[in-house]
Amino acid sequence: MPENRVPRRRRFVVCEPRHFAVQYAINPWMSTGRPVDVIRALDQWQALVDAYRAHGHTVDTVAPVPGLPDMVFAANCAVVVEGRVFGSHFHAPERRGESVAYEAWFKTEGFEVQHPEAVCEGEGDLVPAGRWILAGTGFRTTPEAHREAQEFFGVPAISLTLVDPYFYHLDTALFVLDDENVAYYPGAFSPGSREVLERLYPDAVIATREDAMAFGLNSVSDGRNVFIAPGAGELADRLSERGYVPVPVDLSEFHKAGGGIKCCTQEIRETRS
């Protein structure tokens, strides 16, 4: 029988896609020849925000900045653990202005912010998972950033190497279900990293490449409800079998830039009382 899962209220940070566009190509999903329907993107983004709020979560918004078309992908801006913010240092020059805007917002909100020296793309590659931080590398964030984050948070960072360019960030290949388990696509990882994941998560939910390519692993879980791309049907079924409740949210317009639900969502993890 499926387990009785208990959701935990979350605080999310998002950014309206008012200026969203594909103006450059920095991953295999992006093509400047594919126009973006901004009205549809706005509607899809609002549906995600509404879904979060309908499930009891708090959603804060950061004002979009003209000239930063990827600023909607809030997950890449930082990692927040126990109220401390480790910011971003983007690999692509086109995105570096986003760091300034997000770090300014966090400071205004009263957070301590550390700007990384090494290339680091926030929750895109640094994924807090209970007792440790799962840390992706291979395409964007560097191992040096893993060490920086570990020193800043005092939380072990477990490096995982990504090998498939379609899964250029860890959050496109893996997401955290709760403090004890994850879902992931093994083919996105090097052999050694697959072994690490198998040891850490022997009961993980395993996704197919088809579900991963549908952005099924770019999902957000509150411990019970999983906000997931509707195209990842087989993965949704597997989650249901484990007692999770899939909440389909269509963010297909953002797939044109290589992003989805998690990419659009930064989580603020504040100190628990």
Catalytically annotated residues: 169, 263
Cα end-to-end distance, the chain, whole Å: 33
Q: Residues 6 or more apart from 263 whose CB is under 8 A from it?
A: 73, 74, 75, 76, 124, 169, 171, 172, 218, 254
Token couple for 68 = 């930063």
Q: Residues 6 or more apart from 152 whose CB is under 8 A from it?
A: 84, 86, 114
* Residue 9 DSSP one-character state: -
Token couple for 146 = 């893993």
**What is the C-alpha separation between 37 and 47, in angstroms, rounded?**
15
Checking 36-40 for CB contacts under 8 A at 24+ apart, the result is: 36/253, 36/256, 36/257, 37/253, 40/253
Across the beta sheet with 245-248, the strand order is: 220-221, 225-228, 245-248
Cβ burial, residue 197 (10 Å; 0-12/13-18/19+): buried
Would you give the distance in Å from CA 197 to the centre of its chain?
Answer: 18
Bridge-based pairing of strands 266-267 and 11-15 is antiparallel
**What is the C-alpha separation between 182 and 52, in angstroms, rounded?**
20
Q: Which amino acid is at 165?
A: P
